[in-house]
């Protein structure tokens, strides 16, 4: 098992909570109405604190700009790592967290209060980091990211995006290993995009490397249990696209579409649990292939039900 049962349970619980809160927030964010001209159901993506949302008519290839943005962002981070520009990474991360938190909070509270609250929490996350603030803010960061990209997605483009990112994740972890390099850089600097838990592994104290009856446990080195930001964002994007598909093309209400979409994060959590169960300590694994399997399994099961 990659981590202890308790650490794995907390990590999976935070992941599932992020997906549920994110999907519920997006359900509240979107506006469903009927077109006065055709009578068809349409979904309006409301303006965010960053301004009006784009109007995308043809979404079949709209996954391409998202993939390009991921590659550009990865390239920039690798350059910052190479030139040891930690302060630029800190500033970039701070602005990203502030914007995405404000977008998420704006769904529930007034714009300027959302901006102010996002600023305070982003500052606390970056300049006074602790595990609680870090992980609680992560719950809302990926909701904000999903709201930004949601106008670009439908079920087809979200599915292709999931497949491409899964293949990229396998390459980045197993082949080029630059994903490992980025994760180590972020955890070392305590500015990590994703869920992060720190714990001390308990090991058996024994003489001459032999374990005897009655051997005592002692604390080992500090370990990190992480789940990257992409592993949080992409399944939420997929679930949101499925929820909109159910509203637009299957006649479900917002409430029913939300409830039916919940099967996806549940199955993704189970798939991640399988990965953590089979994974070995101190080894890195691409999580996106398992996440994609969970997403597609949830989509198929939802249609069957």
Domain boundaries, the chain: 5-29+59-203+219-304
- Residue 215 is predicted with a pLDDT of 52
For residues 287 and 204, give the distance between their C-alpha atoms in angstroms, rounded to a whole number. 30
Q: Which residue has the tokens 């992480």?
A: 226
Residue 191's closest CA among 182, 199, 180?
182
- Residue 57 is predicted with a pLDDT of 86
- Residue 211 is predicted with a pLDDT of 47
- Residue 163 is predicted with a pLDDT of 97
Alpha helices (H) in the chain, listed in sequence order: 5-29, 63-82, 86-106, 111-127, 131-149, 155-170, 178-188, 229-249, 254-261, 263-278, 288-304
Is pTM beyond 0.95? Reply is no
Task: Identify whether the C-beta of residue 30 lies closer than 8 Å to the C-beta of residue 254.
Answer: yes
- Residue 282 is predicted with a pLDDT of 79
Averaged pLDDT in 10-residue chunks for the chain of 305 residues: 88 97 98 85 95 91 94 93 89 96 97 97 92 94 97 96 97 93 85 87 55 54 87 98 96 95 97 93 91 96 82
- 3-class DSSP string for 120-156: HHHHHHHHCCCHHHHHHHHHHHHHHHHHHHHHHCCHH
- Residue 227 is predicted with a pLDDT of 94
- Residue 84 is predicted with a pLDDT of 85
Hey, what are 141's tokens?
Answer: 């960061």
For residues 45 and 1, give the distance between their C-alpha atoms in angstroms, rounded to a whole number. 42
Residue 7's closest CA among 202, 287, 198?
198
Task: Identify whether the C-beta of residue 23 lies closer than 8 Å to the C-beta of residue 265.
Answer: yes
Task: Identify whether the C-beta of residue 280 lies closer than 8 Å to the C-beta of residue 265.
Answer: no
């Amino acid at each position: 098992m990659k981590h202890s049962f308790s650490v794995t349970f907390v990590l999976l619980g935070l992941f599932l909570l992020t997906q549920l809160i994110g999907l519920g927030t997006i359900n509240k964010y979107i506006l469903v109405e009927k077109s006065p001209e055709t009578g068809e159901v349409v979904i309006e993506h409301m303006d965010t604190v960053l301004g009006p949302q784009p109007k995308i008519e043809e979404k079949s290839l709209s996954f391409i700009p998202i993939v390009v943005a991921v590659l550009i962002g990865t390239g920039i981070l690798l350059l910052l790592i190479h030139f040891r520009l930690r302060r630029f990474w800190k500033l970039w991360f701070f602005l990203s967290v502030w914007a995405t938190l404000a977008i998420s909070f704006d769904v529930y509270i007034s714009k300027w209060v959302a901006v102010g609250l996002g600023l305070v929490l982003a500052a606390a996350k970056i300049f006074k980091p602790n595990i609680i603030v870090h992980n609680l803010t992560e719950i809302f960061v990926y909701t904000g990211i999903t709201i930004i990209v949601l106008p670009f997605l439908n079920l087809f483009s979200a599915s292709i995006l999931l497949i491409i990112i899964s293949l990229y994740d396998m390459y980045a972890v197993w082949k080029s290993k630059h994903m490992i390099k980025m994760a180590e850089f972020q955890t070392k600097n305590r500015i990590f995009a994703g869920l992060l838990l720190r714990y001390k592994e308990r090991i058996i104290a024994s003489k001459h490397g032999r374990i005897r009856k009655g051997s005592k446990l002692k604390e080992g080195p500090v370990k990190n249990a992480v789940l990257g930001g992409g592993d949080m964002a992409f399944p939420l994007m997929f679930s949101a696209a499925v929820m909109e598909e159910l509203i637009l093309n299957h006649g479900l209400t917002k409430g029913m579409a939300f409830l039916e979409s919940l099967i996806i994060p549940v199955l993704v959590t189970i798939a991640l649990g399988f990965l953590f169960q089979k994974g070995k300590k101190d080894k890195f694994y691409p999580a996106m292939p398992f996440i994609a399997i969970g997403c597609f399994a949830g989509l198929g099961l939802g249609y069957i039900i």
